Every structure is written in structure tokens, then in C-alpha cells.
């Protein structure tokens, strides 16, 4: 199972997974990938604000300040207070996650990077050995075959040599596929480089965010492994030159333009489908109305015909009665 933020921070999902394990919750295996919290938050914000244009706040520091203020307002006594968080009963911890972490939904940049709060709750249902925890930074540097063998040992799933060889050819990390010049043969699939000012925005926000995430990172090391830590270099970017900034800005504009075109195309297709459905419904209703009209005419004709015959029958009946 891929332990995405939607699962790891969804208190109800943990209970459902535990209860649906067919009486063997100890057999469930979780693979958890954790990234430098500052870099992860910046990457998610970049995707929703700069890539998909869901978030109107285009400054990373401002976006994170807004999210952290909302978290503090949600529960002031638990804000950055991991020692008190650890003491909460499971029901209260679950209630806190539901209310303040919002089930790990999209754009929860700050709380989805507070891994230990969510894992603290998950460990109330499952044992530590049921979790394979990998640092994203290590995973991106690992040989593909070695990664598969690690997953095979953890899950107990068989891995044959042909699959391992195919993984090396198709799934090797970009940095291990780099050419002689030390450059990857394909650009990374990441939104965190979509802003020409990514380095400056990260440098501006990093000091405050490092302090915010520090207690949660300490709890993560205590809960899982002492080596689950990050350095400032893990979320530091080299500022771009003026020429590179212009190129990135132009590429970003083209991506947003293409995204807008796709959005318009989808909207036009939705409108056309809705019009087609309305047309079909209208046609069916009209046909039903015509059928109902013909039926009413036929019923009316039968009633009128019956009314014309009725006096004759009555007359005949009266004549018969008089003759008797």
C-alpha cells in the first residue's frame, strides 16, 4: 500500500484498514516515503499554486503563514506541542487529526509535512515493524533493482531476475541515468522548479519552517528511526541566473497556457455533453407526451362511442321491460 498523505493523516482510514484486515491486522504492510518537510511543502504548493493554479497565493512564505495560522487557531494548546500530542488518547488524537489536519487533503502544505503526528496515530493501530519507512532523498538515489529487492524482502512478494533487470532498464532514477556530463537524460517531473524565484522563496521561508517542523521531526526519529532527519541543504536551491530565470518564466507561461487550453477544452466538452443529454431527455419527454396525447384521444373516443351506444341499450331495456 502506498501510504499517501490522504491515508497517513486520515484517522478514519486507519480504523477502516485495521477493521477490514480480515482478523489479521498484523499482516498489513505499509510503505512510507517521507521527504524533507520544507521541500515537500514547497513542492506541493508549487504544484497547486504555480502548476495547476488552484491556490491564488503565489508567494510560498505567505501561503505557509496562512496555513500555520489556521492550524494554530484550530487548537492552540496542541500547536507545535508534540509532548502533549503524545499523551492524547487515541480518540482525542483522531479527533484532532480530523479537525485540524483535514484528512490530509490537497493544499494542506504544513500539516501533511508533519509526518510524526499522523504516524503517531497510525502506530496506535499497527506495530512499528509493519512500516517500511524510506527517505525520499535516499529513494531517488537508490538503484532500481536494489529498491525492488528491498520491497520484496519487506512484503514477502517474490521477485524474479527478469523483473529486476527490467526495472534497472526502465525505472532507474534520473541521476543514475546521467550521461558523461553529469546531466540526467530527462528533466525531473517536479513542480518545485517551475518558479524562476524558487531558490529565493525557499531561502525566505526556510528559517521559520525549520523551526516549525523541528519538534515533529524529532518525534519522527523517536517513533521510527534516529536517521530520519534532514539538513538545510535538502531544501536549498541554487539561485538562477537572469537568463535562466527568463527561460523558466517563459516555460512556466507556456505550461499555464497549455493548462488553460486543456481546461477550456474540458469545459466545452462538458457543456456539449450536457446539451446532448438535455436534448435526449427533451426528445424522450416529447415522445412520451405525444404517446400520452394519442392515448388520451383514444380513450376519449372510446368514452364518446360508449356514450352514444348507451342510450340505445337503455332504450332497448326500457322497451323490453314495457313489453313484459
Residues 6+ apart with CB under 8 A from 224: 119, 128, 131, 133
Assigned C-alpha cell, 1: 500500500
Q: Identify the burial level of 115 via C-beta atoms within 10 angstroms of its C-beta, where 0-12 means exposed, 13-18 middle and 19 or more buried.
A: buried
- The pLDDT score that the predictor gives to residue 249 is 77
What distance in Å separates the CA atoms of residue 135 and residue 127, rounded to the nearest whole number? 19
**pLDDT over 90 percentage in the chain:** 51
Contact 54, 106 (CB under 8 A): yes
How does residue 16 score in pLDDT terms, banded at 50, 70 and 90?
very high
With 60 as the cut, is the pLDDT of residue 322 above it?
A: no
For residue 134, give the 3-state DSSP assignment: strand
User: Which residue ranges make up each domain of the chain?
Assistant: 5-141+190-239, 240-276
Q: How confident is the model at residue 262 (pLDDT cuts 50, 70, 90)?
A: confident
pTM of the model: 0.74
pLDDT mean across residues, the chain: 83
Q: CA-to-CA distance for 64 and 73, rounded, in angstroms?
A: 14
Q: How confident is the model at residue 132 (pLDDT cuts 50, 70, 90)?
A: very high
Query: Using CA atoms, how far apart are residues 3 and 61, in angstroms rounded to an integer?
Result: 27
Query: 5-141+190-239 domain in CATH 3.40.50.1370?
Result: no
Residue count of the chain: 324
**Of the candidates 23, 46, 22, 10, which has an alpha carbon nearest to the alpha carbon of residue 201?**
46
Cell triple for 100:
485540524
Is 239 in a helix, a strand, or coil?
coil
Nearest residue to 112 (alpha-carbon basis) of 224, 4, 259: 4
Mean pLDDT of 123-130: 95
198-223 helix and 115-122 helix, angle to the nearest 10 degrees: 30
> According to the model, what pLDDT value does residue 298 have?
61
- At 34, is the secondary structure helix, strand, or coil? strand
pLDDT digits (tens, 9 = 90+) for 72-123: 999 999 999 999 999 999 999 999 999 999 988 889 999 999 999 999 999 9
Classify residue 49 by its DSSP letter: I
Taking the C-alpha atoms of residue 65 and residue 169, their distance in angstroms, rounded to an integer, is 43
> What pLDDT sits at residue 120?
96
The contacts of residue 27 (CB under 8 Å, 6+ apart) are 21
Per-residue pLDDT at 128 exceeds 90: yes
CA atoms within 13 A on the CB side of 83: 0
Amino acid at each position: 500500500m502506498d501510504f499517501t498523505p490522504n491515508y497517513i493523516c486520515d484517522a478514519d482510514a486507519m480504523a477502516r484498514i485495521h477493521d477490514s484486515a480480515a482478523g489479521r491486522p498484523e499482516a498489513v504492510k505499509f510503505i512510507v516515503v517521507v521527504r524533507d518537510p520544507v521541500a515537500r511543502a514547497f513542492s506541493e504548493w508549487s504544484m497547486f499554486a504555480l502548476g495547476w493554479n488552484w491556490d491564488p497565493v503565489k508567494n510560498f512564505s505567505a501561503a505557509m503563514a496562512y496555513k500555520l495560522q489556521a492550524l494554530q487557531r484550530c487548537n492552540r494548546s496542541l500547536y507545535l506541542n508534540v509532548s502533549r500530542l503524545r499523551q492524547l488518547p487515541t480518540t482525542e488524537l483522531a479527533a484532532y487529526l480530523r479537525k485540524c489536519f483535514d484528512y490530509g487533503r490537497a493544499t494542506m502544505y504544513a500539516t501533511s509535512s508533519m509526518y510524526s503526528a499522523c504516524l503517531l496515530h497510525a502506530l496506535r493501530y499497527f506495530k512499528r515493524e509493519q512500516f517500511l519507512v524510506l527517505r525520499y532523498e535516499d529513494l531517488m538515489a537508490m538503484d532500481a533493482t536494489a529498491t525492488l529487492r528491498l520491497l520484496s524482502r519487506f512484503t514477502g512478494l517474490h521477485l524474479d531476475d527478469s523483473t529486476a533487470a527490467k526495472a534497472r532498464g526502465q525505472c532507474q532514477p534520473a541521476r543514475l541515468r546521467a550521461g558523461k556530463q553529469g546531466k540526467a537524460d530527462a528533466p525531473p517531473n517536479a513542480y518545485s522548479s517551475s518558479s524562476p524565484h524558487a531558490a529565493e522563496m525557499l531561502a525566505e521561508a526556510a528559517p521559520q519552517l525549520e523551526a516549525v517542523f523541528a519538534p515533529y521531526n524529532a518525534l519522527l526519529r523517536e517513533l521510527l528511526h534516529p536517521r530520519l532527519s534532514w539538513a538545510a541543504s535538502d531544501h536549498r536551491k541554487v539561485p538562477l541566473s537572469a537568463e535562466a530565470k527568463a527561460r523558466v518564466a517563459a516555460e512556466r507561461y507556456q505550461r499555464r497556457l497549455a493548462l488553460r487550453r486543456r481546461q477550456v477544452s474540458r469545459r466545452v466538452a462538458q457543456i456539449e455533453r450536457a446539451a446532448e443529454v438535455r436534448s435526449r431527455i427533451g426528445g424522450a419527454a416529447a415522445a412520451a407526451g405525444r404517446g400520452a396525447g394519442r392515448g388520451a384521444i383514444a380513450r376519449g373516443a372510446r368514452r364518446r362511442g360508449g356514450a352514444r351506444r348507451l342510450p340505445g341499450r337503455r332504450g332497448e331495456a326500457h322497451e323490453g321491460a314495457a313489453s313484459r
